Chains A and B, each alone.
Chain A
């Protein structure tokens, strides 16, 4: 259903992720068109986007805390010996291990670059993904489980719980991380 007029079925769907929270806006074609054509009114704004931005509550400038300057012991990458200061200076990493070495320092930087996001939500490598695929599945099933319990669908919930248990057992058998291959 369209969020604007509450009348017609929604045809335009916009997804956005802000601070790890997913928001969606649904508009019907008529309302989307309306907003789209509003620019002709010379109101000083690309209204369609402004409307959506308002709904999504996206601020153009992301508020975020300064990287902590207090802990000053130089962090150095175990792989390429790049220091965190060097990374800041050139803005590029030296090797894949830099991400592990600077793990603590990265979130504020990534937040600024990626609209508040710090965690990957996209594709996993098929072959290497192994346990990560399963861990994701577990996370998904857990939220399903929570919903089912809230709806008091206990029979289905029990099924999901068993699925989670068997997946977790599989992950343990695979050795959990399996990162060092």
Chain B
């Protein structure tokens, strides 16, 4: 299969569209945890109850009238599930458990409803760039539509009842993925992360095999779900994200001012590595992709799409590499495949621009 065809099938709309503030914010996710009032939670429910819950959710989703397609976990191969995880459409948790678990997906994969994960239903909306209000509106709209046909477990005091006490109340997890190379290079992240905690928010690096944040990507999300309205939670998150965007921008400016040529050198070395290497590990790839993305944002590199980091961070994961290769790959083979996929992807951009004479 050609890479272009593979890409068109593999990339969800939230990965390749430019959204608001997309030079720093890669994507926005809203998740609502919901349960049926009659059935036990997945922690203890029987196979029979799991079946009943899945049917009840399914009936409500169909009646809600969204054109979603159901994928049952028991019908999927391990590799297919892995790819869904890498696309952030299902959780690793859902992929592991196959008894009556499923996911309902919209065509462009901006809506994903997980059934019988930790809760009976998890409504998820994924948007490109910074779109907290839009994503919340969409998720609440789906929530209302489903509730017309589904009796939620709800308590006047505790709100929406969830399996884990960390989700009770609104059941809302709002998160924003941010690319923060400037704050990392100026060593600000280790201060920002604990400070964010004071707002009931949490910042996590997207970790690879080790403990280092991969590709300077951080996920900022709310931790508090009880005692604040959905709008207040997302607004507080938005304010902090806006602050971080401003700080990232001034860190980038300061870096360009104080060491522009070194920065440009770093960007082009990384670009060179991605364009010409034959074997590349995921950690190095993530670092170089982050540099190249920064180079695009700063105008050093002009003929590469901005979505490159978003896209390749996901496409170079083991599940995708193997899907593209059409079978199982050992780690070394993956590193080779990863390098060639990245080369191909970059050549695609450059040849679009220059008529393909560059290699």
Contacts and interface: CB of A to CB of B under 8 A. Distances in A.
Interface in B119-154: 140, 143-144, 147-148, 151-154
B300 interface: no
B40 A95 contact: yes
Contacts of A44: 191
A39 B227 contact: no
A110 B168 contact: yes
Given A44-B191, A114-B224, A117-B226, A122 B159 contact: yes
Contact of A128 (B154, B192, B197, B232): B154
A122 B170 contact: yes
Residue of B162, B239, B240 most packed against chain A (CB within 10 A): B239
Interface residues of A, number: 59
Given A93-B163, A117-B224, A14 B239 contact: yes
Given A12-B239, A92-B163, A121-B229, A45 B153 contact: no
Interface in B37-51: 37, 39-41, 43-44
Contacts of A9: none
A120 to B, nearest CB: 3
Contacts of B280: none
Contacts of B2: none
Given A33-B246, A117-B227, A96 B165 contact: no
A96 B161 contact: yes
Given A36-B246, A96-B35, A120-B227, A114 B239 contact: no
A126 B142 CA distance: 12
Contacts of A117: 169, 224, 226-228
Interface string A24-66: 0000000011001101100011101110110010101000000
B126 to A, nearest CB: 21
Interface residues of B, number: 61
A4 to B, nearest CB: 15
Contact of B191 (A46, A80, A110): A46
Given A14-B239, A124-B154, A39 B188 contact: yes
A79 B36 CA distance: 13
B200 A49 contact: no
A58 B35 CA distance: 32
Contact of A100 (B148, B155, B166, B191): B155
Given A80-B40, A117-B228, A110 B195 contact: no
Contacts of A40: 250, 254
B200 A114 contact: yes
Contacts of A13: 235, 239
Interface string B164-207: 11101110100000000000000010011011111110000000
A13 B243 CA distance: 12
B209 interface: no
Given A80-B40, A119-B157, 13 more contacts: A14-B199, A44-B191, A49-B243, A60-B197, A96-B35, A106-B158, A110-B226, A119-B158, A121-B169, A121-B227, A124-B154, A128-B152, A132-B156
Question: Which 4 A-B residue pairs are closest in the complex by CB-CB distance?
Answer: A117-B227, A120-B159, A96-B153, A49-B195
Interface of B: 35, 37, 39-41, 43-44, 118, 140, 143-144, 147-148, 151-166, 168-170, 172, 188, 191-192, 194-200, 224-230, 232-233, 235-236, 239-240, 243, 246-247, 250, 254
18 contacts: A60-B197, A79-B40, A80-B44, A92-B43, A93-B41, A95-B41, A96-B37, A96-B155, A99-B155, A106-B165, A113-B165, A114-B200, A114-B225, A118-B226, A120-B160, A120-B169, A121-B169, A124-B154
